[in-house]
Amino acid sequence: MIKISLPSDVNFIIDMITKAGYEAFAVGGCIRDAILGRIPEDYDITTSATPEEIKTIFKKTIDTGIEHGTVTVMLKGVGYEVTTYRIDGKYEDARHPSSVSYTKSLREDLLRRDFTINAMAYNAKDGLVDPFGGQDDIKRKLIRCVGVPYERFSEDALRIMRAVRFSSQLGYEIDEDTKTAMKELSGNLSKISEERIQVELVKLVCSDHPENMRVMYETGITKVILPEFDAMMETPQNHPHHIYSVGEHTIKSMEEIEKDKMLRLAMLFHDIGKPKVRTKDEKGFDHFHSHPEVSFEMTKDILRRLKFDNDTINCVSKLVGFHDKLIEPNEKAVRRAMNEVGEIIFPLLLMVKKADVMAQSDYKRHEKLQRLATLWSLYTKICENNQCTNLKELKIKGQDLIKIGYKAGPGLGEELKRLLDKVIDDPSLNNQDTLIKLAMEDLR
């Protein structure tokens, strides 16, 4: 019998519920991850006790999702979701059940879960409960629906994206019948909220297999959630710098960058405007004039549509807008670019540029990489020497200007910018005495 070691607090919760006369198991993702030797993100517990009964067993609980049978049990400041065995009622709108009802059967609770690998439960007393072959599917590296795929995806269309997401995180294939149903029903994703779609998209994009964006395209998922991606897949680029379509280049560039949300999203969107601006010259070469600007605007719109937070929208769209920015390989130009792009985004921009180059043809690749390496070492040097690239680091403030006779108002800001400009060109000017002298000259 397979043995899984659960954290002591999880065992404690299970024991307490069991002593009160009910069943309780750790369930879902945590069991899948434990079998895989991965560290589970969190532990969910499923039980035959009702939420009311759970609340009498534990001192501190929170009603996090009482309408679907979930209470959070708090232990030493950590929350554990405890959910009553549940049968989901009829799904009438491809996203939520019209009713949920409790059941005394663990099997029925597992039956409502999406994939076999997510439909296993475990406790120390009863061992592993795996009625649908989850362990086998882990061995076969397979994402397979519990029950009839067509029905399961009809109930909740988000599961179609979850299939690709788990396949990407785990490096698993999707079972043929499951995949067929995904293709047939992907249109229903239009009924799913952007918030839920965003969660799955980010998990896929940040996984070991971002190339599964191709699967998203082939199954008709992006057609619904990100039709701009389909346009990239369908836009060739006949040009010496390229060997791939815009879409395939995009996928390759995602593989070439680390698994960071901002960076992966930046690669996903960096050329999103290309299909809109493509022109052909007389030799038959494709050109994409002003594609960074168009991509910048589109990225902002799309991320807003997908309900991303402002930090993500700002960072990703900036990286997209600047991805093709020409930076001369000298200190002055790098300081100026750091000022324009922002000192936090700048190093990310160099990573984006590198991934972009790596996803192009070999043509001039060596020169392009050499140039980026130079920019990187200039950037490091500027940081090491604490050279000023923004107003925060300027050794003079508005207050100092007022003391020597400047009036508060827009003129003050303009003067600070003028001084910053000089300091960016010549870092040795960044000390208060020199800057006061320069400001006094400007005043006269």
Alpha carbon distances (Å) from 130 to 11, 260, 364 = 19, 34, 55
Element holding 428 (H helix, E strand) = none
Interface residues toward Mg ion, by CB under 5 A: 29
How far apart (Å, rounded) are the C-alpha atoms in residues 278 and 272? 12
Task: Give the amino acid at 55.
Answer: K
Q: In angstroms, give the least distance from the CB of 307 to ligand ATP.
A: 18
**Residue 159's binding partner, choosing from Mg ion, ligand ATP, none, with beta-carbon cut-off 5 to 8 A by kind?**
ligand ATP
Query: What's the CA gap between 317 and 269, in Å, rounded?
Result: 8
Tell me which stretch binds ligand ATP (CB under 6 A): 15-23, 111-119, 126-134, 410-418. 111-119
DSSP at 188: G
321 binds ligand ATP (CB under 6 A): no
Residue 156 vs 271, nearer CB to ligand ATP: 156
Q: Which is nearer to ligand ATP, 159 or 318 (CB)?
A: 159
- Contacts for 222 with CB less than 8 Å, ≥ 6 apart: 213, 216, 229, 230
DSSP symbols for 287-356: E-TTHHHHHHHHHHHHHHHTT--HHHHHHHHHHHHHTT----SSHHHHHHHHHHH-TTHHHHHHHHHHHH
Distances in Å between the Cα of 410 and the Cα atoms of 46, 311, 340, 406, 417 are 62, 28, 20, 11, 11
Question: What x/- string results for residues 32 through 71 when contact with ligand ATP is judged by CB under 6 A?
Answer: ---------x--x---------------------------
- Give yes or no for residue 433 binding ligand ATP (CB under 6 A): no
Question: In the bound complex, what is the minimum distance in angstroms from residue 2's beta carbon to ligand ATP?
Answer: 18
Q: C-beta of 11: minimal distance to ligand ATP in Å? A: 19
CA distance 231 to 227: 7
Which parts of 152-191 interact with ligand ATP (CB under 6 A)? 156, 158-159
Q: Interface with ligand ATP includes 109 (CB under 6 A)?
A: no
Shortest CB 196 distance to Mg ion, Å: 14
Q: How far is the CB of 196 from ligand ATP (least distance, A)?
A: 8
The pair of three-digit structure tokens given for residue 9, joined into one six-digit string: 């607090």
Q: Toward ligand ATP, which CB reaches closer, 26 or 327?
A: 26
Report DSSP state, residue 156. Answer: -
Q: Which does 158 bind (CB under 5 to 8 A by kind): Mg ion, ligand ATP, none?
A: ligand ATP
114 binds ligand ATP (CB under 6 A): yes
With binding defined as CB under 6 A, does residue 113 bind ligand ATP? yes
Cβ closer to ligand ATP: 38 or 422? 38
CA distance 224 to 189: 7
Q: Which two tokens stand for residue 64?
A: 């996090």
Q: Which residues pair with 46 in a beta bridge?
A: 25, 83
Number of residues that bind ligand ATP (CB under 6 A): 11
Given a contact cutoff of 8 angstroms between Cβ atoms, the answer to whether 8 and 98 are in contact is: no
Choices 7-15, 110-118, 244-252, 283-291; region in contact with ligand ATP by CB under 6 A? 110-118
In a 3-state reduction of DSSP, which class is residue 43? Answer: coil
Closest CA to 143 of 184, 171, 111: 171
Q: Among 14, 23, 26, 28, which residue interacts with ligand ATP (rule: CB under 6 A)?
A: 28
Closest approach, Cβ 110 to ligand ATP, in A, equals 8
Residue 209 binds what, of ligand ATP, Mg ion, none (CB under 5 to 8 Å, by partner type)?
none
Q: What are the residues whose beta carbons fall under 8 Å from the beta carbon of 351, sequence distance 6 or more?
A: 257, 258, 263
Q: Which is nearer to ligand ATP, 141 or 417 (CB)?
A: 141
As measured in angstroms, the least distance from the Cβ of 169 to ligand ATP is 7
Q: Smallest gap, in angstroms, from Cβ of residue 332 to ligand ATP? A: 47
Question: Cβ 13 to Mg ion, closest distance in Å?
Answer: 16
| 118 near ligand ATP, rule: CB under 6 A | yes
Question: Is residue 394 within 8 Å of residue 423, measured between CB atoms?
Answer: yes
Distance CA 295, CA 138 (A): 40
Q: Which chain residues interact with ligand ATP by CB under 6 A?
A: 28-29, 41, 44, 113-114, 118-119, 156, 158-159
